Structure 1
Amino acid sequence: MKINGIHHVSALTANAQKNVNYYRQILGLKLVKKTVNQDDPSMYHLFYGDEVASPGTELTFFEIPMLARRLEGTNAITRTGLLVSSEEALAFWEKRLEEKGVKKEKTSIRGGRPALLFTDPEGQQMFLTVEPNGHEAGEPPVHADIRAEFAIRGLGPVELTVARAEETTRVLTEILGFKYKASEQTSHGMMTIYESGEGGAGTEIHVIEKADGPSERSGRGSVHHVAFRVKNADELEKWHDKISKAGFANSGVVERFYFKALYFREPNGILFEISTDGPGFTVDEGVEELGNRLALPPFLEHRRSEIEHRLTPIQS
């Protein structure tokens, strides 16, 4: 029973079409599932990943039209990492982002690896980092302008900024089994790095403590939650028992059709999810069909006409 890295990261967007235009056309990610928020089917839930929708490669977005902008603060997921396979690839992205007018910083070192920090059009803070042989790297998404060896291949480290780091790290290490890796000074304060599973960029959580200032006000560009990978439903049930016995209110195991999930908040209020690797996003679509049509779990299929009527069509 162990956490095997990052399963997915879910963020907020105010405009699904513009979101697709950016993440598909600029970053070259594959839209692997065009579906809805299962708790509120009136909104899109978009999943981007590698070419075959491998676990650990998905960056997802809930669309909430007219969503106000995010106000930066603490007690939030403040930066999301994405993986490339070489420094040559990182140089390609530095040039490409500049040509596309993406707000970015100079390449630096983060978590002991070369990294390129940038911001998406709605203000979400992200970075590209190099992991040459990471077991968590997926299959390069096919894109006309991006060679396979330069493609983004999965999720990298996820940064949390919290008011009381000790309480968050206790959950990571004592409950979820993360291991301390290193500490590093950043422009935002001291960052402590924890890794899970076999280690590597796609298994890391970076924690920065910021004891003063307000908490983040959620809005477009905010990250809603981070999900951690576990092998299967049997393991997830054991995690449910462990988290419940530790005194954390939680969702219980939730059936999401593409995976099963368990939700709880750590002491600084950040939403954590634990999710199974399977059955995966190809359970209802072949690899070639991924993201081409609105996919609904079976329990929502009888409402397809109603749901499609409420959604603005997306061209991907």
Structure 2
Amino acid sequence: MILKGIHHVSAITANAKNNYDFYTNTLGMRLVKKTVNQDDPSMYHLFYADEQGRPGTDFTFFEIVRAGNTYQGNNSISFTSLRVTSDHALKYWEKRLDEYEVVHHGITETFHRKVLPFQDHEGQRIMLVSDQSNEGVAAGLPWSESPVPQEYGITGLGPVRLTVPELAPTERILVDVLGFRSIGSYPANQQGQPDIQVYQTGEGGTGAEVHIEERDDLAKERPGRGSVHHVAFRVADTEELAKWRDKINKERLANSGLVDRYYFQSLYFREPNGILFELATDGPGFITDEDADHLGEKVALPPFLENRREEIELNLVPLQTDK
């Protein structure tokens, strides 16, 4: 049993319309599924990804209209990365972010890769990462109808960074339970803090890394709009997911058991520092209930919510996504 990499990252927005405008018009990602939070169908759940929503390319958002500000801190997923093909692509993005007046911090280097950290309109912490020297998990393919030229488009999710008050408990779960491998470290931005540790799974590379920042000077993060809810890791299929459930049960980690999300099967648990992990299968995928040419245009509901469609749509503010 080997996790194949990052499956998706799910975050919080307070406004679905503004979120849709930013991630499709500014970042050029494709909305591949406009659906609802299956645990609370009163809120949108929006999935942005590559042309078909391949596993490892999905950056998703729950709309929580009353979400307050995020007070950044410990016990959090503190950065999400988005992959681009090359260092040259980062130069395109630096100009584009300036054009759209997006707060960014210029091109720099992290763990031997060129990166471009920035924030969305709600303070979501994101980093564009160059795949110039990547030899690991393959990237996705940007949507050909994106406002961003395909050669510069976002190709998937890169490393996520966790910020925790104590490294060892989280490291044990990643390495001893989930099978990640320690592959190095790099200096923290804050003087006097330990180096940030890097772990990889599967084929490795930008699509299969977790970075852990240990901080002894931060309070626990208070999440809100612009924070990350959870990170999911890729599992081949439902049969393998059941084996992961058995392994996690043997570790006496409280978990959700197998959950049918229709587009994939999932299992959720929290590691000792309180960060929510999900294991999710690669299939069946987002083309299960919509044609590939019309993904994300209508509100899609899994079969177990379809009989509540009228009630659900009445409670959602209409979001125009069919162009």
Is the TM value for this pair above 0.5? yes
What is the correspondence of 1:1-316 to structure 2 with a 5 Å cutoff? 1-132=1-132, 134-143=136-145, 145-188=147-190, 189=193, 190-316=195-321
Q: Structure 2 unaligned runs (5+)? A: none
TM-score (norm 1): 0.98
Runs of 4+ in 1 over 6 A off after TM superposition: none
Distance verdict in 2 for CA 1:283–1:60, change over 3 Å: same
Contact kept in structure 2, 1:31 and 1:290, CA below 8 Å: yes
Deviation digits for residues 82-112 of structure 1, max 9, x if unmatched?
Answer: 0000111110001100110000002111121
Q: Structure 1 unaligned runs (5+)? A: none
TM-score (norm 2): 0.96
Aligned amino acid, residue 31 of structure 2: L
Rounded to whole Å, the distance in 2 between the matches of 1:143 and 1:164 is 44
Rounded to whole Å, the distance in 2 between the matches of 1:37 and 1:140 is 25
Aligned residue pairs, count: 316
% of aligned pairs identical? 53
Rounded to whole Å, the distance in 2 between the matches of 1:13 and 1:229 is 24
Contact kept in structure 2, 1:141 and 1:153, CA below 8 Å: no
Question: Following TM superposition, by how much is the alpha carbon of 1:144 offset from its aligned partner in structure 2, in angstroms?
Answer: 5.0
Rounded to whole Å, the distance in 2 between the matches of 1:263 and 1:125 is 23
Aligned amino acid, residue 265 of structure 2: K
Partner secondary structure for residue 282 of structure 1: helix
Rounded to whole Å, the distance in 1 between the matches of 2:111 and 2:64 is 33
Partner secondary structure for residue 308 of structure 2: helix
